[in-house]
Amino acid sequence: MRIDAGEHMNSLSAIEIYSIGTELLNGQIQDSNAFWMAQQIAALGGYVRRICILDDQMEELTSVFKDACQRGTKLIITTGGLGPTPDDMTVQAIAQIKGEEIVVDDALVAHFMASRDIEKREDVSEGLLKMATRPAHSKAHLNPAGVAPCVETQIGETVIYNLPGPPREVEALFGAVLEAWIAELYSGTRAALRVVVNLPESQCGPILHSVMEQYPNTYLKAFVALSERTADGQRLPVDIVAWAEEDAQAQDLLDKALRVFTELAAEKGSSVEPMEE
């Protein structure tokens, strides 16, 4: 039974992550950016609702970003598609759905010239000029580990951060631009625990759902792929996560969710134990 965390976490602002690049879809490059960012966001108390890989196609990019904004997504993070080649069209897609023209950011051009000892603007390559573009009312953040900037755009209630694709640059920009923003967005914390229950997923699923119904700011997930069959039955790992504004509140919520989960599991004849490291 699949549990949709979004049904139980309506009070949390949702984040969606999109990795952009044909090379990701055809298996040439493995997407490590989304995995890494999801870890960082979770540690900051954030809620990632969706992770997806997109092709370098204008129609697909605009359609997906429009849908994400209409879903009320608070923060969209994209990686890739900010380079100098024609198939790098993330900025163009954002400008199109916002209905704005694309402009060259003079501060970025000046930064590129200074960092490369270019004396005349006319000597700046077309590739560099393309990487210095942004929608007219967007904001560009300098890249501390590379060339292509991070582009920040507000569309309605949604904030979009477009990051370049190289992992080293993603990590640097996340720390420089996004980390504090996300921490302020959630201004809370999380507490988590992994336990083991002796139940099959078919019996455990309704219990997880019941706990999340009772405690909306919790998320419980069973990991069937990590389960083991023993003489006592199936040992099924379950993650219990709780979000709150303060550490003590998050821990208290986690304890309550664990207690109810344990009681409901006991009704099915199963104990609940902390999972050994």
Per-residue three-class SS string for the chain: CCCCHHHHCCCCCEEEEEEECHHHHCCCCCCCHHHHHHHHHHHCCCEEEEEEEECCCHHHHHHHHHHHHHCCCCEEEEECCCCCCCCCCHHHHHHHHHCCCEEECHHHHHHHHHHCCCCCHHHCCHHHHHHCEEECCCEEECCCCCCCCEEEEEECCEEEEEECCCHHHHHHHHHHHHHHHHHHHHCCEEEEEEEEECCCHHHHHHHHHHHHHHCCCEEEEECHHHCEEECCEEEEEEEEEEEECCHHHHHHHHHHHHHHHHHHHHHCCCCEEECCC
Whether the Cβ atoms of residue 101 and residue 130 lie closer than 8 Å to each other: no
Q: Give the span between the Cα atoms of 140 and 132, in whole angstroms.
A: 8
The CATH architecture assigned to 189-274 reads 2-Layer Sandwich (3.30)
Crossing angle, helix 201-214 and helix 247-267, to 10 degrees? 140
Domains 5-186 and 189-274 belong to one CATH topology: no
pTM score, whole prediction: 0.78
Q: How do the pLDDT tens digits run along the chain, 277 residues long?
A: 233 444 445 445 899 999 999 999 999 999 999 999 999 998 887 889 999 999 999 999 999 999 999 999 999 999 999 999 999 999 999 999 999 999 999 999 999 999 999 999 999 999 999 999 999 999 999 999 999 999 999 999 999 999 999 999 999 999 999 999 998 887 767 788 999 999 998 999 999 999 999 998 898 989 888 888 876 678 899 999 888 888 899 999 999 999 999 999 999 999 999 987 5
Query: Taking the domains of the chain in order of start, what are their residue ranges?
Result: 5-186, 189-274
> What is the token pair recorded at 15?
């984040």
Q: Give the span between the Cα atoms of 139 and 158, in whole angstroms.
A: 14
Q: Which CATH superfamily is domain 5-186 in?
A: MoaB/Mog-like domain (3.40.980.10)
